[in-house]
Structure 1
Amino acid sequence: MPPASSAPLSVRSEPLHMGFVVAWLFCALFYFVQYALRSAPGVMMPELTEAFGRDVVAVSALVGLYYYTYSIFSIIAGAALDRLGAKYVIPAGILMVAAGAALFGLGELHVAQIGRLLQGAGSASAFIGAVYLATHGFPPRYLATAVGFTQCFGMMGGFAGQFAVGPIIHGTIPWQQFWFIAAGCLFVIAILVLLMTPKGHDPRPAGSSNSLGSVLTPYKQVLSNPQSWLCGFTAGLLFLPTTIGDMIWGVPFLRDGLAVTYSEAVNRSSMIPLGWVIGCPLLGYISDRIGRRKPVLIGGASLMLIASAAILYLPAGIAPPYLFGLLLGIGSGAAMIPYSIIKEVNADNVKGSATGAINFLVFTFSALLTPVFGYLLARMAMGGALTLPIFQAAGAWLLGGIVLAIVLALLILETGPKGRQVAG
């Protein structure tokens, strides 16, 4: 266990703070597990519709409840970390996800709704908490790499939540038992994070108080900047093909629309989060290498547009079945570029709140549009089966979202080093 000190955290001269680094590793593991739980319902839709007595559209709305609390608690988690530090805030979030997983596994509709809301609320502390720990554990020259690896952990979890969970619940254990096991694993992770995280928090600005207004002041500063909204809207639109298109509707589209077998549908759908694992560090590296943000953001979004259109509209057999899903995921790494930009267009003293703010904006999009997309599919089907033409017509709206994201990206300031040199 690292030495516990209740003194405020200050800028340290040593290159590495091992207590925070070890805690970051366990928090990254939490991020992996919560992402697996975020995507896992997409591969158990038949079981969920039978257990809850609802059709796939209603179950997709239940699954989407996750994003309501995730977006709101992104703000709360960021403020709590700034005020209280990570030692108790992150374990509390992990325990909320554990409780939510156990409730979801009970298989009762109303209890599962509460469980999904708890999962979203607790998961909000995963990425923000990992970034907080990385900021205090790594020297600045390694921070971007640590954050990139954190996102890779998450998307590897999203990949596992589809590629691994599908076969497990259809050949090894019942779907309910999967959720109970996940809850137990999360409880252990919560204990490890609690034990390994040093005490203390960042010094508060002079004159700050515990009032709600004081807590929200950094967010007011971030959200008063129009560039913050452009970053949030752009990233939010670029997340939709994954959060809605793949993690909820990917397997039903492949099974009902393209008549693909269940196991093949799971494998194909899992290519998108696997692509994220490649795309996040790759596009981040390219952006740092060329010293510009916008060309990489727009280029990645354009790759998303091409790959999504190919998945929806190209006849079967034109290309290898796993290719375009992987390319869509790689291009989706561009959605993380605005996470860097929003920090660069805001003051240094609100960079942590900037992460919470963009997380709030990004997943508010998913929260609001998940039921809208399900309603759109149901309306187009008019009580009938979900067929390929219906998925193609509804999918056109997701393509439109990518186009809109590209347009918004044109309005974002170039914050890369070379872009700032040109502007100067």
Structure 2
Amino acid sequence: MFVPALMDDLSISPAQIGFISSAFVCTYMVCQVPAGLMIDRWGARWAMFVALLAITLGCLLFSWADTWQMAVLGRMLMGVAAAAGITGCMYLAGNWYPAAWFPLIAGIIEMVAMLGGGAGSVMLETYDGQWRSAFLDMAVLAAAIAIAIALFVRDRPAFARDKNLNDPDESDPQALGLVDTLGKLMHLPVFWICAFYGGVIYALISSFAQLWCIPYLNSLYPECPRQVAEGTALIFLGLAVGTPLCGMMASLTGKNKPVLVGGAVLVAVAMWVVMYQPLSLLGMSAILFFMGLASGSYALVYGAVRNVVCSRIRATAIALLNALMLLGSPLFQPVSGWLLDRALASQGTLDATSYQVAMLPLLACMLLSIPLCFLINEQRPKRPARRLRHAHVWIVRGKWLNCIR
């Protein structure tokens, strides 16, 4: 009901709705690296505070929009500001928790981000088309979070510093200049492997799960449209569970690479079964959930990159990694769409075989990521997370007061 109400109020076309939607995504991707640079220079606290104020302004502009250009401006401002979100959270996690815990915390951050996106969509529907009221309330919520961050968040609490990060010291040549360090980052094989790995899984979610899974399953089970939609939703449920689960496995073992390899193998197998093996709808739903669960391994690429870069550019490295991963969607979606167009032109209709052919490039890239993961030469924390079972006591036993001094 949100989109039809927006189209009626602003008298805009579906193409203009698509432009409004893409304005957020494009600015979000473009501003990833600038946001990382700002966090590395000034810290996450004030960067996220300013970003949330900008989101507040963007929501207000969108709610007051009387033309589609004003709506686009509001969405662009939201995208610019949102770029600091994931990167800022990862930066804080790296400073507040031991390095061995970073994969788990990164998985939890990704899970909360996904749940937040889903909750936002549900919240919009509860406003029954009153989109202006919805974005006004979002502006109030963003302002409240900005105030909370300014009051309570600190970048580097002294008691939470990890002595086992293997960071280069200030005399390390890698830490002398930002430009030189970024140049070295671009020459790190592990960085590009992780970007490819994460980009393929992002493309799996955006191209297959969000676009083509329901039409594909409808071609297999035309009599069960509701069950097909519920089965597709299990991919996202599995992903929400899989990100912290994979992070926990990496934290407990102190190794990212085995979980990355295992996740790639399981995702490839699950995708092959979904696309090319006859199953009942119940069995298909179970495999889709399993595929989402294994896809949660993508959250570990942040930890793999974090462990091999110096602390001065960690936020920039994570931001650039996130931007490259997001490129998976605009790269794979046109390819699958082109293959489906060819099938439609030759057959006049799309059947299960058409979707199977269209997903072959994605499956091939998923298989390619498996041997690439073996090339990752990761630096691991010396202290495994299983020795920190009582870390919650370490954090809350009164020392947290140091962070507000």
TM-score by length of 2: 0.72
Query: Which among 273, 277, 281 is matched to residue 244 of structure 2?
Result: 281
What is the match of residue 82 of structure 2?
Answer: 123
Structure-2 change in CA distance of 1:281 and 1:364 (3 Å): same
Measured against aligned partners, the alpha-carbon deviations of 1:84-129 in whole angstroms (never above 9, x if no partner) come to: 2233311332344455556667697655554554443322211111
Shift, 1:315, TM fit: 4.5
Measured against aligned partners, the alpha-carbon deviations of 1:352-372 in whole angstroms (never above 9, x if no partner) come to: 332123112212333444455
8 Å contact 2:237–2:289 — kept in the other structure?
Answer: yes
Structure-2 change in CA distance of 1:122 and 1:110 (3 Å): same
Structure-2 change in CA distance of 1:241 and 1:161 (3 Å): farther
Measured against aligned partners, the alpha-carbon deviations of 1:303-333 in whole angstroms (never above 9, x if no partner) come to: 2122233344445625345322321211111
Shift, 1:145, TM fit: 3.9
Matched, 1:188 2:144: yes
Shift, 1:399, TM fit: 1.8
8 Å contact 1:107–1:176 — kept in the other structure?
Answer: no
What is the match of residue 5 of structure 1?
Answer: none
Structure-2 change in CA distance of 1:293 and 1:147 (3 Å): closer
Q: How does 1:212-361 map to 2 (within 5 A)?
A: 215-250=178-213, 259=222, 264=227, 267-315=230-278, 317-320=280-283, 322-361=285-324
Query: Which among 37, 42, 49 is matched to residue 79 of structure 1?
Result: 37
Matched, 1:411 2:375: yes
Give RMSD over aligned pairs: 4.3
CA distance in 2, matches of 1:344, 1:116: 34
For 1:91, the aligned partner's letter is: F
Structure-2 change in CA distance of 1:136 and 1:344 (3 Å): closer
Q: How does 1:378-393 map to 2 (within 5 A)?
A: 378=341, 380-382=343-345, 388-393=352-357
Matched, 1:396 2:360: yes
8 Å contact 2:243–2:296 — kept in the other structure?
Answer: yes
Q: How does 1:71-220 map to 2 (within 5 A)?
A: 71-100=29-58, 113-138=72-97, 142-160=101-119, 164=122, 169=125, 173-174=128-129, 176=131, 178-198=134-154, 215-220=178-183
Query: Unaligned 5+ residue runs, structure 1?
Result: 1-42, 419-424
8 Å contact 2:103–2:250 — kept in the other structure?
Answer: no
Partner-residue secondary structure (3-state), 1:411: coil
Structure-2 change in CA distance of 1:237 and 1:193 (3 Å): same
Shift, 1:78, TM fit: 1.2
TM-score by length of 1: 0.69
Shift, 1:239, TM fit: 1.8
CA distance in 2, matches of 1:49, 1:252: 26
Shift, 1:231, TM fit: 1.7
CA distance in 1, matches of 2:148, 2:27: 25
Paired positions, count: 365
Shift, 1:130, TM fit: 1.0
8 Å contact 1:377–1:391 — kept in the other structure?
Answer: yes
Partner-residue secondary structure (3-state), 1:400: helix
The 10-residue stretch of structure 1 (102-111 or 83-92) with the greater mean CA deviation from structure 2: 102-111
8 Å contact 1:227–1:412 — kept in the other structure?
Answer: yes
CA distance in 1, matches of 2:254, 2:237: 26
Shift, 1:292, TM fit: 3.5
The 10-residue stretch of structure 1 (96-105 or 355-364) with the greater mean CA deviation from structure 2: 96-105
CA distance in 1, matches of 2:147, 2:380: 40
Query: Unaligned 5+ residue runs, structure 2?
Result: 159-168, 383-405
Structure whose alpha-carbon radius of gyration is higher = 2
Partner-residue secondary structure (3-state), 1:345: coil
CA distance in 2, matches of 1:341, 1:293: 6
For 1:53, the aligned partner's letter is: S
Q: How does 1:7-18 map to 2 (within 5 A)?
A: none
Taking only the aligned residue pairs, the percentage that are identical comes to 26
